[in-house]
Structures are given as structure tokens and as C-alpha cells.
Structure 1
Amino acid sequence: MGSDDIFKKRREERKKRNYGYMQPKANSYLIVTEGEKTEPLYLRGIIQQIEDKMGGNVDVVEIPLIDIRGEGCSTCKLIEKTNDLVRKAKIIYQNVWVVFDKDDFDDFDKAIDEGKDKDYKVAWSNQSFEYWAYLHFHYSDAALHRDQWCKKLDEIFKQYNLGIGGYKKNYSEIYGMLNLNDGVTTAIKNAKRRMAGFDTSKMKPSEYDPGTTMHVLVSELKKYLDE
């Protein structure tokens, strides 16, 4: 065996010693969001409840949209960023979620496929997170522009005197506001009803408008509150 082969063998043995012991940390989550406002604020609301109840080990990493939108490839760039975070993490997360909206990006379906190829779980919304927020109050299968969903939420927030002067994206208590009258349970029920018509063998997420898989992520987190 040559000196180069011996060096390579020793290097591999060192790697095994240094990293071989690492196992996925139970009940750990890395949740990477496209937005810097509504999505992380909403998720932090439920995560705070989990931590208050059981000291849950959940990390939410927010990726400001403004940092990556200039690339013209926001959703796929988010997958790349998630790859970096996973690679540099000091633990192996048991669950890695990526959260993003379709908005006007053409790489929406590609990003979902890339995430799944990496064994990430993807919570997507078409067109936007505001559709998921609306489902906390009412069911709808109307294909509306994201601005229209915001207007509908604005009307609801005014109706129930939520927030200050209507719906805004930066409410720190957005989770509690949407959970009025057990709204989270309502949203999960409404999302399941809507997504029952989504046939993955015949259509792409970008073609299913409106649609969302946020209920899968929220249901997974909510189980810690329901135990």
C-alpha cells in the first residue's frame, strides 16, 4: 500500500471517529422560511406554545426574501440556503422543512422537487401564505391573486377587531390572532378538504390554485400541544 493510500485510509478513519457518532436529534426541527415576516412570526407563535408546554427543541431560520429575490430564483435559492444550513449544523435535524409561496416565481415546482430530492419536507402555498391564513376563518377554492387574499384577511381582521386597522404582515401575535375560535384546527380541516382534490400524478403544485400544504407542517407541530 502506497503512502497516498495510507493517508486516505487514515483520513477516512478520522472522519468516522469525528462524525460517526452523530445521530439525528429526536424531535428536532429546522424550519427555513422564504419570508421574513408572516411565516416565521406565525410559526414562532406555535413554537412558543410548544416550548412553554414541554421545552420543545425547534429552530426556525428566516431567510429575508429581499436577500434572494434579486436572483430571480427565490424558491430554488431557498433550497440552496437550506443545504448550507444543514451542512453547517452542529446536529443532525430529524425534520427539515422548507416553507415558501409560489408568488410569481417560475421555479416553484422545481424547488419543491429539489427539496423532496433532498428529503426535505416542503410546506408550500399557491399563491401565498395568506390563503392558508384565510382558511383559519373560512373555506375557499377560489383562484384569487395574493393581493385579493390580503384584502379578504383585512376585512376579517376588521370584523373581529384583530390587530390595528386590519391585516398586516408583521404582527408578532399573528398565530394567536388566526387561532381565534380554534382557527388553527379549522384551517387544518379546510386545507385537508381542499387538498383532497390534488392529484400529484396529474397536476403540479403550480397548477393547483389555490392550494397549500402548510397544514401538514402545522399538524406535525400541533401534536406536541395535543398530547
Structure 2
Amino acid sequence: MTKHNNRDLSRRAPRREPYKTVLIVCEGTKTEKNYFNNLVAYERLSSVNIRVLPGQGTDPRSVVKTAIDYMQKQEKYLAFDEVFCVIDRDNHQTFDDATLLARQKGIQLIVSYPSFEYWYLCHFRYSRAPIIRKGNKSAGDHCESLLSACWQEKFKENYSKAMKGVYEKLLSYLDEGTKNAVLSLNSAIAERQFNPSTQAHELVAFLKGIRT
């Protein structure tokens, strides 16, 4: 390989920037991971500084364990300044264990009740009506159905958990989504009733402001 080609490769290679290093481990293998990867790309954040990974397992404790394992593997090469686990509350039995383990390891949980789709739903409307199981549909499935109706009305297309580019697609509604998410979370804390609510806006704001 020529020196010229070597220079081209080095220019294209991601590099660490002089802001915090962050690990984000997501419960979902598609929805949350795609959203935050799209945010990182759109906001031109370094993929060296910001790592977004799927959890090895579909429950909160497995997600936290994935984060701990990855931190330990990478500590010789890259010590993360901040570690987040993006999880759903729904009816997971390991939620309390995950909360305790995360606290012990200094990991911040970004929790959505009942699912991450509630964060998307906040972009279109404010509602504190509990989202619960209906028939054979889990609370998470019910939340997705509510979102799908709004998505179809707004974008004239079907919503899919595997969609890419959702951060960009919702960008013009982000201020509204953040406002509704903040109102919902404040109400949830005051009433001690967290269904529905989300902390996703807090991680989004942190990433958007990471350079400052």
C-alpha cells in the first residue's frame, strides 16, 4: 500500500475527540441501538468516544451485565467516563436487581415505562394515561400500537421497531418530545406512578451537549 493510501485511510478512520467517552448499552437490539447510532452519526460525534451496543439478553439485568463485561474488557484501552444502560420497565422481573447492580458499578439507567417507544410517542402528544397489558398484548406492545397510529397519521407509513434514521425523522419534533417527556417524568416522580414515563430525553440532551 502506498503512503498516499495510508494517509487516506488515516483521514477516514474515526478518532477520539477531546470530550467524554461514553458507553451506551441498549436492551433492544434494533430500536434503541438504531436511534442512538443515528443520533451519533447525525450530530457528528466520534464513534470512538461514543459506543452503542446491544445487550446480551432481553432483560434489564442482562443489559447491565453486558455493560460491566464490556467495561472490564476495554479498561486497558479505553476507560469510559460515563456508562448508560437503556432499558424498559414493562414487566421484567430483574429490574430491581439491575437497579442495584448498576448503582454498585456507577452505571446510569435510562428507563422507559413501559418501553422506549413511549419516548417516540412524546414527540406527538402528551399523555399520562397508564399503558397496560390488553388481552394478549403486553404493555410494551400496547405502547407500540399507540405509537403506530400516530406514526401513520404523521408520516403516512407504518412504524417498525427495526427502522433506521428515526432520530433524524423525529428531529423537527424533538423540542416537543423533550417538553412532553420532562412533564411526564416530573409528574411521575410527584405522583410516584411511573407508567408511563421516560428518561430518554436526558440521555439525548447529554449527547447533544457533550462537546460543551
Bucket of the pairwise TM-score, normalised by the shorter protein? 0.7 to 0.9
Output the CA distance in 2 between the equivalents of 1:192 and 1:215. Answer: 8
Output the CA distance in 1 between the equivalents of 2:108 and 2:145. Answer: 30
Q: Which of 182, 197, 206 in structure 2 is aligned with 1:192?
A: 182
Task: Find out whether 1:161 has 2:165 as its counterpart.
Answer: no
Task: Find out whether 1:148 has 2:133 as its counterpart.
Answer: no
Q: Deviations over 1:47-87 (max 9, x none)?
A: 00222xx6462111112xxx524xxxx21121111111001
Q: Which of 85, 88, 92 in structure 1 is aligned with 2:70?
A: 85
Q: How many equivalent residue pairs?
A: 185
Task: Find out whether 1:173 has 2:162 as its counterpart.
Answer: no
Q: Which of 99, 119, 126 in structure 2 is aligned with 1:139?
A: 126
> Could you say what secondary structure the match of 1:197 adopts?
helix
TM-score by length of 2: 0.79
Instruction: State the partner residue of 1:221.
Output: 207
Query: What is the identity, as a one-letter code, of the residue corresponding to 2:165?
Result: E
Instruction: State the partner residue of 1:17.
Output: none
| Root-mean-square deviation over aligned CA pairs | 2.2
User: Could you list the runs of 5+ residues in structure 2 that have no partner in the other structure?
Assistant: 1-17, 132-138
Instruction: State the partner residue of 1:10.
Output: none
Task: Find out whether 1:129 has 2:116 as its counterpart.
Answer: yes
Task: Summarize the Cα distance change of 1:222–1:26 in structure 2 as closer, same or farther, 3 Å threshold.
Answer: closer
> Could you say what secondary structure the match of 1:124 adopts?
strand
Instruction: State the partner residue of 2:195.
Output: 209
Instruction: State the partner residue of 2:11.
Output: none
Greater Cα radius of gyration, structure 1 or 2: 1
Task: Find out whether 1:35 has 2:25 as its counterpart.
Answer: no
Q: Which of 86, 108, 116 in structure 1 is aligned with 2:95?
A: 108
Q: Deviations over 1:7-31 (max 9, x none)?
A: xxxxxxxxxxxxxxxxxx8411110
Q: How far apart are 1:104 and its partner, in Å?
A: 2.2
Instruction: State the partner residue of 1:6.
Output: none
Instruction: State the partner residue of 1:12.
Output: none
> Could you say what secondary structure the match of 2:176 adopts?
helix
CA contact (8 A) 2:20 2:210 kept: no
Q: How far apart are 1:137 and its partner, in Å?
A: 1.2
Task: Summarize the Cα distance change of 1:86–1:55 in structure 2 as closer, same or farther, 3 Å threshold.
Answer: closer
Output the CA distance in 1 between the equivalents of 2:167 and 2:189. Answer: 30
TM-score by length of 1: 0.74
Output the CA distance in 1 between the equivalents of 2:204 and 2:65. Answer: 23
